[in-house]
Amino acid sequence: MHPWLAERTAKFDSSGIRKVFDLAAQMRDPINLSIGQPDFTVPEAVKEAAIAAIWGDKNGYSVTQGIPQLGEAIQARIDAEYDHSDRRVLITSGTSGALVLAALAMINPGDEVIVFDPYFVMYPALVGMVGGRCVMIDTYPDFRIDPERVAAAITRRTKMILLNSPANPTGAVAGEAEVRALAELAARHNIALVSDEIYREFCYDAPLVCPARWNDQTIVVDGFSKTYGVTGWRLGFVHGPAAVIDKLTMLQQYTFVCAPHPLQWAALAALDVDVSQYVADYRHRRDLVVHGLIDAGYEVTKPGGAFYIFPKVPNGTGSEFVARAIAKELLIIPGNIFSGRDTHFRISCAASEATLLRGLDVLRRLL
């Protein structure tokens, strides 16, 4: 380790997902089911709004909290959904930026953060960067949340509960009973509840249930990347109690400064775009892959949302299975990237139907 580097950097390695991305760049014709990035093109109206903003010289800084027009439009939707008198919105540099700000603002060294395993790969790294400690709650085999297990994990050091629904990597969508119990538990113990809802629009069997319905102190993280296929634009937002959002806004001044200014105008146009066809296409792809896996003999829990399926490996470890798949040019992600277990693998359905069918063919032969 270089002597100039802080000790915290020794705790982290490059994301295993990023390593697979790098591997894909070296392959001539990979069957790439590793990327959690929409494969549909950005809606024309959204691209045109971005171009117009750039040509209109909206290229300098915006105010830290985001352009008023976008903030007000999102605030109006939030007010209509929750009717909380003290809920405010901040436009952030991606959903990841919102999570970074929330960790900086709320987690002290030694604080405990409850995280559900399997988890989004960024969560343990973020908690560790600010000196916190993850307390993992196992959700295998069906990836459901057991509120009694959460209650048993709470200590005097518990500061936050991180909920991701629809979830990456499992695609699980938490049901109303789970979410309400979690919301009421957090309120009862005065614990911050952060709800990461970046896949909110991609719920296939029932609408998303947000814990803010029962806990008005819930901090909700959301964004534009997945819904409109603009992952590279780094546009997110967060809403919650004014006192918390004010601190996040202050921290954004000294870190990200503001979200990309011209692209905020494009996000404003995106709010009027109907994405129901994209959702229907991804529901079809989910069904195609789930049925294909089950027919082949894999053990899989049908996901209710997001772009992902998290099957169990037929034998051996997830890492060994993925190595065999990659040898056949099928790029998937081993489950231990997202979990304390190495028993599953992640498939992304954000690929063409032809690519998904090629991937299923390799998976049948591997079985």
Q: Give the predicted TM-score (pTM) of the model.
A: 0.94
Could you give all domains of the chain from N- to C-terminal order, each with its CATH number? Answer: 7-42+275-366 (3.90.1150.10), 44-270 (3.40.640.10)
pLDDT surpasses 70 at 16: no
Q: Report the alpha-carbon distance of residue 154 to residue 193 in Å, rounded.
A: 13
d(CA 64, CA 337): 34
Alpha helices in 10-142 (DSSP H): 16-26, 44-55, 68-82, 94-106, 122-129
Q: pLDDT class for 115, splitting at 50, 70, 90?
A: very high
For residue 5, the model assigns a pLDDT of 87
* pLDDT tens column, 174-224: 999 999 999 999 999 999 999 999 999 999 999 999 999 999 999 999 999
In the prediction, which pLDDT does 24 show?
A: 61
- Mean of pLDDT values over 222-228: 95
**Residue 15 pLDDT > 60:** no
Three-state secondary-structure class, residue 176 = helix
* Cα 316 to Cα 320: distance, rounded to the nearest angstrom: 7
Rg of the chain in Å (alpha carbons) = 20
Higher pLDDT pick, 21 / 262: 262
Q: pLDDT, tens digit, for every residue of 125-135?
A: 999 999 999 99
